[in-house]
Every structure is written in structure tokens, then in C-alpha cells.
Amino acid sequence: MASPGATADARAWLDEADRLQHAKLLAQSVQCYREALARDASLFDAWYGLGFALGALEEHGATIDALRAALAMQPDAARLRVNLGESLFALGHVSDAVREYERAAGMGDPEARELALRNIACIAPGDPALDNPAVLRARQRWADSASIQPANPSRQRNGKLRLGYLSSFFGARNWMKMFMGVINAHDRERFEVHLIATGDPPSAAAGYRDHPDDRIWEIGDISNAELAGHIADARLDILVDLNGYSDLARMPVLLHRAAPIQLSWANMYATTGFPTVDCVIGDSWTIPPEEERFCVERVRRVPHTYLAFDVFYPVPDVAPPPWASTGHVTFGSLMSAYKITEQVIESWSQILHGVPRSRLLLRNRALGQASNRADFLARFEANGIDAARLTLEGGGEHLDFLRTYDRIDIALDAFPYNGGTSTAEALWQGVPLLTVNGDRWASRTSRSILMAAGLDHWVAADRKGFEAMAIRLGLAPEGLAASRAGLRAKVAASAACDTVGLCRVLEAIYCQELALKL
């Protein structure tokens, strides 16, 4: 126990730390919280403040330690459990995160419960401990927790169909390559296109080809209820959500039923769970008929991939495979850290063990922070992989980020939450992307793109097959040069990039869904 003098000194440091955090001087506040704890480690408020400051700095590895120390003192602090869950998820400890959210949801704090239910609904498809029925329950539970009044939309009786796309990411070129090709291809003689921007508006830099008849909505910070009212007043016939669970704050717009027909095209990776969504767009490679019972919506399948993409901005040239100059094979992944679960690390470690002298390069935003890198290094070490075989790098500007593929021979997918944009980018840069035919929609998105591109030989039937395939390629890399040189052209000529064809199919689906409503 700290002496009275040390405790007084500790509280002075704590007061200064709180002042600095309030002033958003986070790094300085962290140092002061640590000074306070060095004098009195029993100060709950110091652990609490330290955890929040570290979380704001995205030092999730250190945040986890600080919040666990605080919760050891006050286990019923529901809001802290939500924060702990957020940091656990950020580093791929998805099952642990879900457990913390569940505990927070049951503690009687309404705000913590709402946050916890929302976050569980978001991350459930990426939790290997949950199955399809559990994902459905998680998403329905969040939808059921919201009390929303419908916006009472009416539809235009004649003329063009009014089609609205809702997105917070219209200004992000790397994101919009999965959607803008379809949006640009719409038949403006039949459709009046509204782009409802809940973030940056569409731009030429993000691939949008301006059309004089299009309507661009710049929403700003209005509430979801206000936005739903505007959509209803505009008498849109069809509202297509592109945000999904990638913008949790805006997703409840769909609960207002602001348009007669509401569809989800992307960023769900499972059912929305919302009874106000009429259908979800998928394909036969992501959601087989026997899994439709896990969706509250109708499932509409397109003939090829529902993730056809269009690379409309300058990207680096395809580089030769690096193994020839480095003398070793480099496996790699540029997907977000929250997809890299314990099972993924186990499989990637098995691959490294199977290919002597091979390396693994990981790059994502989370790895820019020291405590996050330490977390990953410890997990690989637990699987027998020395830090010398790992290169962990933080994020960067998109073009520089893509140049990372120059240093990767073979890209490895994650599971149960596959890549999407990262899969498209790896292939476009000539790098083989190996994946698994998983047990849920989220673990088949890479399969969808690969099958449409005629690259089914990079889709393993199961996890063991995935590891064996990677080891086989890693032990005989001589063929990588030829496949790498021609991969971009092969993908570009395939259904994986047929955005015009996908647009025609989606237009037909939109009209069919509207006809069902009349």
C-alpha cells in the first residue's frame, strides 16, 4: 500500500493527467497517468484514465492491459468493458471482445448495453466461436433494441425510377473501386440516380463520372430521423445501402423505412438483421441456398461475383516476385488487424514452419503503434515464430500502401473474416491470394472474387488445405513470375471486373423488387 505522501503525490499526477487528457494532449497525459500509478498502483481513476488515453492513441495492446487492471478493481464498470472490447477487437481478439461486450450488455447500464449490442452485431461474422444462427441472433437483437418510427414513404407513380445510394465513403477511392463502376454504368434514361453522401461527396478522384441528371446529397451531421425524412420527401423508389456495418452510426437509417424498397448490397457479410431491409445482394459462391434461413431478408444472387471492381485510379506497375532477389519467399497480408484472429495466426505460423527461411510481412494501420506490434509478436512467438521472420508495418498513403505488394510473393487471406478490397488489390498487383472456402458469408468473399476471376485453384476446401497449398507454393516459387506478370490482365478481362454486367443485373433486381411491392 502506498504511503500517505506517495498517495497525495500520485493524486497530483492524476489531476495533471486528467487536465492534459481534457486538453487532448494525450501522449503527455499517458506519461502523467504512469507517474501517478508508479506512486500508487491502486488508483482506479488512473488506470481508467490511462486506458482511455491509450485507446484514443490507438495503442490497443497497452489499452488492454490498463483496462484489465481497472476492471480488476471495479468489475461492474460496464463502459470500461465496452472500451476493452473495442481494443481487443482492434487486434483480432474477436472472441474475447464479444465476451466483454456480452458482460457489459448484462450490467444494467442502458448506454453501455446499446453500444455493446451494436458492436456485437458488427463483429459477430468475424468471431470464429459464433456460427450462422448466432450471427443472425446478434444482428436481430440490435435491430430489436431500437425503437424507430417509419418515415412513411410514398413512391413516384411514373417517369424514371428514383434510385438512391447511401454511403459514407463516396470520397474514398480505394473503397469505391468496389462500387463506382456499377454506379457510373447506370442507364440514366431509366434511373434517376441520387448519391446520398453521409461523408465526403463523390468526386472524380474517387472514380465518379459526373452526370448532369444525377442528384448529389451532402448530408452533414443531421440525425438519422432527419435524413430518413428527406429520403421519404424525395420519394425515392429504391434505397441501396453501401455502408452496412462499416458505419454503425448511419446504419439505423434503414430502420426508418424511408423508401418503399430497401436493399443491402455490400459490407454486411451476413444478414443485416433489420426487418425493414427487403433483400441482400450476394452470389452463389458466398451464400448457398441452405443458408438463406439465416437471413431476415430475401437473398438475391447475381450470376458471378457481387463484388465486381473497377480500378480507375493510377496504381503501381506489377513488380517481379521478390524471392528471386531476397533469397527467401515472403508471405504477406495487408488486411486490417481485426481480421487476424488466433486461428489465423496459428495457420500462418504453420505455413512459416513449412517453408524454411520464409518471412511474413504484415501491414495495416494498427501496426503503426508499438504496443500493438508487441501483441502480435507475442502471439506469433507462442506459435514458435521468431520475431526475425516477421515484418510489421503501419499504414500509409494508398499508393505507397499498394507498393508493399512489390515485397510480397504470396498473399494470405484471413478467416472467418476474409479480405474484400485487400483481395482485389493483391490480385491487381499480380500477387496470388490464397483463401479458404469457409463456413459463412464473411469467409467466402475472397472466394467470390477468385472464382469470378477464374482463379479457383487458389481456393482451398478447408484450413488444412489452405496451409498445404501455401506451403506447396512457397517451396516451389519458380512459377510465380509467369503468373504474376499476366495476373492483372487476366483479372481485368474476367467477370471479377465486369461492373457493367453487374450493373445490368442489379437494375433488373431493383425493378423486380419494386414490382413485388406494387
CATH code at 36? Answer: 1.25.40.10
- For residue 236, being part of any structural domain is answered with yes
Q: Domain tally for the chain? A: 3
Do 53 and 200 have their domain in common?
A: no
Do 490 and 507 have their domain in common?
A: no
Q: What is the pLDDT of residue 159?
A: 84
**pLDDT tens, residue by residue, 326-367:** 999 999 999 999 999 999 999 999 999 999 999 999 999 999
Domain closes at, from 82, 117, 145: 145
Do 263 and 299 have their domain in common?
A: yes
**pLDDT tens, residue by residue, 274-332:** 999 999 999 999 999 999 999 999 999 999 999 999 999 999 999 999 999 999 999 99
Provide the grid cell at 119.
Answer: 458492436
**pLDDT tens, residue by residue, 474-488:** 999 999 999 999 999
- For residue 181, being part of any structural domain is answered with yes
Average pLDDT over residues 9-34: 97
* pLDDT-based confidence at residue 177 (cuts at 50, 70, 90): very high
Q: What is the pLDDT of residue 4?
A: 59
CATH code at 243? Answer: 3.40.50.11380
- For residue 220, being part of any structural domain is answered with yes
Residue 184's domain spans which residues?
161-308+502-517
**pLDDT tens, residue by residue, 370-395:** 999 999 999 999 999 999 999 999 99
Query: Looking at the predicted structure, is the pLDDT value of residue 153 above 70?
Result: no
Do 430 and 481 have their domain in common?
A: yes
For the chain, give the mean pLDDT: 95
Query: Looking at the predicted structure, is the pLDDT value of residue 116 above 70?
Result: yes
- For residue 404, being part of any structural domain is answered with yes
Cis, peptide link before residue 416, omega less than 30° from 0: yes
- For residue 318, being part of any structural domain is answered with no
User: Which of 408, 395, 334 lies closest to 366, judged by CA?
Assistant: 395
Q: Residue 270 class from Cβ within 10 Å (0-12 exposed, 13-18 middle, 19+ buried)?
A: buried
Q: What is the pTM of this model?
A: 0.95
Gap between the Cα atoms of 487 and 476, Å rounded: 18
CB 438 within 8 A of CB 444: yes
Q: What is the pLDDT of residue 152?
A: 64
Do 361 and 242 have their domain in common?
A: no
Following DSSP, what letter does each residue of 184-238 receive, concatenated? Answer: HH--TTTEEEEEEESSSPP-TTTT----TT-EEEE-TT--HHHHHHHHHHTT-SE
- For residue 240, being part of any structural domain is answered with yes
Do 75 and 121 have their domain in common?
A: yes
Do 291 and 367 have their domain in common?
A: no
Beta-sheet pairing, 261-264 with 161-167? unpaired
Residue type, 239: L
Q: What is the pLDDT of residue 266?
A: 86
Do 74 and 201 have their domain in common?
A: no
- For residue 314, being part of any structural domain is answered with no
Gap between the Cα atoms of 332 and 351, Å rounded: 11
SS3 assignment for 268-306? CCCCCCCCCCCEEEEECCCCCHHHHHHCCCEEEEECCCC
Do 252 and 378 have their domain in common?
A: no
* Residue owning grid cell 505488394: 405
- The share of the chain scoring above pLDDT 90, in percent, equals 94
Q: What is the pLDDT of residue 131?
A: 97
CATH code at 439? Answer: 3.40.50.2000
Do 473 and 344 have their domain in common?
A: yes
**pLDDT tens, residue by residue, 44-80:** 999 999 999 999 999 999 999 999 999 999 999 999 9
- For residue 317, being part of any structural domain is answered with no
Q: What is the pLDDT of residue 157?
A: 56
Average pLDDT over residues 459-473: 98
Do 352 and 488 have their domain in common?
A: yes
Do 172 and 300 have their domain in common?
A: yes
Q: Say what angle helices 44-56 and 4-22 make with each other, to 10 degrees.
A: 30
Residue type, 132: N
